[in-house]
Structure 1
Amino acid sequence: MHSDIRTIPIEQFTEDVGIDPVWSDKPYDKVLWRGSNTGILFSEAMPWNISQRARLIKLTNEKEGVRSVLRPLEPERAIGKPVEERSKELNERMMDIAFAGSPIQCEEPVCTEMKSIFEYRGHMGWSDANKYKYIMDIDGNGWSARFKRLMTTNSMILKTTIFPEWYMDRVMPWVHYVPVKVDLTDLYDILTFFRGDAQGRGGHDELAGKIGLAGKVWSKTFYRREDMVAYLFRLFLEYSRVMNPNRDNMAFHLDD
């Protein structure tokens, strides 16, 4: 997983994102995520309830209890102590997150149990998803293959991952996208910062739009097919030199 040599997966690579409104025309300011319940085998022998996607669905659809959230304040003021807000109200205001379709990658009786404890909704097309200002990107069975497509939209992308990828040295968190901790403990603080409190006060909608646009520019400038070709070509050149006892024999010389 944490290999020193990172190649490029081309699964789901696309430059077509469907109909994508500009930031100010996107009608929904909740965080969107739809996907399958991948990431683990959902069986009695596995700790599926603590898998990444399962935790995301449970957290963002919670209707009981409270959560501590940092309030958005003026830039010159200290953040201060968090305030407690009801989970139900937070999730209804901020989240549109659910599994899509029906349970997969599961064994009975867990398949039946999943239907009762997780939120399952219909699949959503790209153009409908692009109506949301905020879109979540999260690991499944492996890295997320959606990142290229999501970053090519005008939406602001929130990404949580444990996988280092080939482009990590080329993309800047908080400039091109917003990173979220793997345990998701900062998700509500992040959304409150950008969207404001329950009355919409203290938000930073314009900044979120700038991050979304910066991510799109980055994707169209540094995540092109030619960027992937150049990266892989150099990777193979370096690898061949490392593996050859006489490294100079494997040096690349461009013909005149």
Structure 2
Amino acid sequence: MFFKEPSSSSFVLKSGIYKLNPSMDFSEIQKELSSGQQEFIVISLPEGLTISKIAAILENNKICPASDFVAFCHDSSSSLFSEFKIAGESLEGYLFPDTYYFTSGMSVQSATRIMVENFFEKIKGVRGLSEKSPSELFEILTLASIVEREYRIAEEAPLIASVFRNRIKNNIGLYSCATVEYIITEIQGKPHPKRILLDDLKIDNPYNTYKWAGLTPGPISNPGLIALDAACNTPSTNYYFFQIADQGAGRHVFSTTFEQHKVNHNLYTKD
């Protein structure tokens, strides 16, 4: 059986990834291979994930091995660090949460570059952020990563950022449970805790904001635009404390003094 060789004018083989099946005849295969349509794997990465959680999603979707992705994101000798002037020791915080179109088996370098390039493109939409120096950006990004893990309602993100900035200014610990959770899950490699215990607050680690004042050594998550804007354009307030007021809605109440905070704690904490 012979097939007529397709002429160059009727068939152009275009690079891509295609799905073919045995039931397709020659003309259908030819049409598919000349369509140029890619078979993408759509991945949605929500705000607040860490490198390891993103890695697990990529592996589960057969994009690339999780261990390879984690290793590459912690390799500060990578050209990405010098190219984008990344001040941290890893890419934690620089992997922008978004919907991505990846291909199966793509290299970790390619997948990571897409996310990092997207980060630097998206921060252009945050007033004043893209003009910051690498060290200033890293500091803002670190604060934003903590705000991301603490806020639930968008309009409260700037207020939470203001609490943290006021505490940093006065050398008061941030007292963020999110940073302790990061130690437990990302540094110690333990399962996500159902609750933070008093013993957890005593963990001797620079990421423990109950033991050490100031920001953590680096980001604890990959924040979105709301948290980034809150950390970059933080409003001036007199707040030093916030307390959950509505667990279901994720709403907080803010206070200036510890006495007010204790009252709020008694009002909104239930047995």
Higher relative contact order (CA 8 A, sep 6+): 1
The TM-score normalised by the length of structure 1 is 0.26
Q: Which one has the largest radius of gyration? A: 2
Q: Would you tell me which structure has more helix in proportion to its own residues? A: 2
